[in-house]
Amino acid sequence: MAEEMISKERIDYTIDLLITMAVEEIAEDTGKSPKEILPEFYSSKTGKALYDEQTRLWCNGPSYIAELYMDELSKRKI
């Protein structure tokens, strides 16, 4: 079966939605404001990898993405 092509617009929409859900989950877990987390998330390795379509990170759920981001943060503090 041939792989169906997904438009760039749909992928970007999906990524934006995933980021919103992941940031909300991170906010709940950390007690921080989503407005505080969002800019940090966008500039993180995880945030950048999401917009790199070749990583296909956007194919994962928001909880996985939130965990990946939290792991990234914990490694920065070491």
Summarised one tens digit per residue, pLDDT across range 8-48 is 898 889 999 999 999 999 999 999 999 999 999 999 999 99
Q: How far apart, in whole angstroms, are the C-alpha atoms of residue 55 and residue 30? A: 27
pLDDT over threshold 60, residue 2: no
68: which residues sit within 8 A by CB, 6+ positions away? 46, 57
pLDDT over threshold 70, residue 1: no
Nearest to 58 by CA among 11, 7, 9: 11
| Whole-number pLDDT of residue 3 | 60
Are the C-beta atoms of 58 and 50 separated by less than 8 Å? yes
Lowest-confidence segment of 40-44, 52-56, 67-71 by average pLDDT: 52-56
Q: With b meaning 16 or more CB within 10 Å and e meaning fewer, what string describes 5-41? A: eeeeeeeeeebeebbeebbebbbeeeeeeeeebbeeb
pLDDT over threshold 70, residue 7: yes
Q: Which residue has the higher pLDDT, 5 or 4?
A: 5
